Copies of this chain bind each other. A is one copy, B any other.
């Protein structure tokens, strides 16, 4: 796949600096490039899908599936099928780890590299109709399964694809023993004189800032649950009184990416008796937590205040939780208010 990777020279050099020649060449030249190509394909499908209708099917979790969900799933599965080092994959739409075509029969992977990919092909279905920004979430795990593994040790990369006026992506890589990194890409060149879309390196170092902050943003998810949780209601009214700026799209990817781009943000998705835990750990919480940590922030489960990446190995693909993430001090203060 290396030859067909449409990444700018600066992006290729950046990936080589993070993953030098002898370090995981399949991850650098095949897995990440293939996922980025698939994200470009999803963006193209969304762009031309003017009639966003229900596909008439529902996924394993009972959600309505939109036809663009189905296309996004196919684009990513098809990209992974060409990656010899990807052993298994599963998604929010088909949450069973299955072996991937190219890996079958290669029990030792390629040069010792074997990966598992877990993805949510299109997060934010409810805001596709009004044409708001939506995203794709991907986690890459070392080995042939994400189940029973230490999330902090084994989930080594994550990508958020962002489909808005532009197509962008935030990538995090954290190989045990190496420096973590979080960077932003933008898809350029599409449709200009026939040049193929190319991923450009926009910001080599995405970082959540440290206090004092110029502007403070907050994103209160599942706000209806504040009606039954006085601590959440008071967290919200206190942020209003402290003159935080509200930004809440209802899409996990755009809401988290807003904080990453502004350098500040507090995202809160509480779990209450009435509303229950909604966010899937494998497809949503763990990849987002890796991105946030690699940007210097903190991601905690709002159910119990535990660091998401420090939680016990997953027992199933359907485990769920809540989320408080963003700048470290903001997250700590919010968790105290919710659970303290």
A positions within 8 Å CB-CB of B:
43-44, 46-51, 127-134, 162-168, 186-192, 200, 202, 220, 223-224, 226-227, 233, 236-237, 240-250, 254, 257-258, 260-262
Q: Are B132 and A258 in contact (CB under 8 A)?
A: yes
Q: Which single member of B192, B243, B262 contacts A48 (CB below 8 Å)?
A: B192
Query: How many angstroms between the C-alpha atoms of A280 and B134 in the bound complex?
Result: 29
Instruction: Specify which of B200, B240, B249 is in contact with A226 (CB 8 Å cutoff).
Output: B240
* Copies of this protein, total: 2
- Note all chain B residues with C-beta closer than 8 A to A241: 227
Q: How far is the CA of A134 from the CA of B226 in the complex (A)?
A: 29
- Write the nearest CB–CB distance from A244 to chain B, whole angstroms: 7
Check if A248 sits within 8 Å of B248, measured CB to CB: yes
The winner among A129, A164, A250, A260 for most chain B CB atoms within 10 A is: A164
B246 touches A166 (CB 8 A): no
Q: Dominant SS at the A interface? A: mixed
Query: Contact at B249–A247, with CB atoms within 8 Å?
Result: yes
A105 to chain B, nearest CB (A): 38
Query: Which residue on chain B has the smallest CB distance to residue A256?
Result: B130
In this complex, which of A48, A130, A168, A243 has the most chain B Cβ atoms within 10 angstroms of its Cβ? A130
Beyond contacts A46-B166, A224-B243: 4 other A-B pairs, Cβ-Cβ < 8 A, are A50-B166, A132-B254, A164-B164, A248-B248
Residues of chain B within 8 A (CB-CB) of A237 are 233, 237
Residues of B within 8 Å of A233, CB to CB, are: 237, 240
B240 touches A224 (CB 8 A): yes
How far apart are the CA atoms of A223 and B219 in the complex, in Å? 12
Partner of A133 from B44, B132, B168, B187 at Cβ < 8 Å: B132
Sampled A-B contacts (27; CB under 8 Å): A46-B166, A47-B190, A47-B191, A48-B188, A48-B192, A50-B168, A50-B186, A50-B202, A51-B186, A131-B133, A131-B166, A131-B168, A131-B261, A132-B132, A132-B249, A134-B165, A164-B165, A190-B191, A220-B246, A224-B240, A224-B243, A224-B245, A227-B241, A227-B243, A237-B237, A245-B250, A248-B249
